[in-house]
Amino acid sequence: MRCGKTAEGNGQIAGVKEIKKMEKTELRAKIFSKIEELPTLPIVLPRLLNLMENKKSDASEIAHAISHDPALASKVLKVSNSAYYGFSQKIYNLDRAVPLLGLNMVKSLALSIGVMGSLPAGGAKSRHFSREDLWIHSLAVATVVQELCKSTGKAGKHEHLFIVGLLHDMGKIVLDQFFSEPFGEALEELWSGKTQSLFMAERKILGMDHGEIGEMLLNRWNFPGIISDPISVHHRIQVPDSINLTDVAMLRVADTLCRELGFGEQDFFAHPETHVTDMELLGFDEEALSDMKAYLNDAKDGIYDFFKAMN
């Protein structure tokens, strides 16, 4: 495709030159128009979102809702039986999965798997980008966030962060699918050493980063702000007062750790540094950071097995 032309038939909406001529509001409108063309979520997922926000929902309601989508239920059970969880006995039904994994984890798994299945399928269009690597990285981030919640004593208040971790980079898939030429240029800038981070190259070329685009998609699918807000700002230094700083800090620390250890992410070689303010907010010191790295390395095989089970 030549720069400056659109090619709707190929799923591409603009070349690099055309992108650079657009105002940010115009670009957001074009991105949103493509997001609007994506399929709506399976009917079970809006039900689960409602149950997630209903503090009185119980295990039987969750299991009943998921069971209405046999393909989704099958994947939830497959993941439940993966090495990631390591249960000694096979889980044959959702009624058994809920008490073993926990109510919130089953909801999180079902929502995350459903969203992944609703995103554009197929291989990556952009050079230096792998959708498999993205999901491996995202699973690692979700794993670290979950452990961070336990280690900082916040496990009962941040169950939603597993979903946040798993979906935090989904905006890259939108870019790869509909903006593969400018997204490819952003990747080239990273790999050639012109910039130290992909999100910086995205802002330079597209005027926004994948976190903002991920938020647009989640808003379109009516996800609550508690999930979409941390995703939207996870590469921003200044966070609006309306967004939970602890959630953002957990996501950023987890993201940085996983990139540093090379979990599937393309720009881990940029040697990211953990935000000092995030560490302070979480009450996290260097020893705790080292322990988390060791935990993540030990969890590696389970993370890869989790990914296989989701596909």
Task: State the Cα–Cα distance between residues 34 and 29, nearest whole angstrom.
Answer: 9
Q: Which residues pair with 12 in a beta bridge?
A: 7
Q: What is the pLDDT of residues 221-258, one digit of tens each?
A: 999 999 999 999 999 988 999 999 999 999 999 998 89
Confidence of residue 24 (pLDDT cuts 50, 70, 90): low
SS3 168: coil
- Does the structure show a pLDDT above 70 at 297? yes
Contact between 203 and 156 (Cβ < 8 Å): no
238 dihedral zone (left: phi>0; alpha: psi -120 to 50; beta): beta
Q: How high is the pLDDT of residue 10? A: 46
Integer Cα distance of 142 and 166 in angstroms: 5
CB 109 within 8 A of CB 79: yes
Which domains does the chain possess?
41-118 (no CATH), 124-310 (1.10.3210.10)
Residue 156 has a pLDDT of: 56
278-291 burial, b if ≥16 CB within 10 A, otherwise e?
bbebbebeeebbee
State the Cα–Cα distance between residues 199 and 236, nearest whole angstrom: 10
Q: What is the pLDDT of residues 25-40, one digit of tens each?
A: 777 788 888 888 888 8
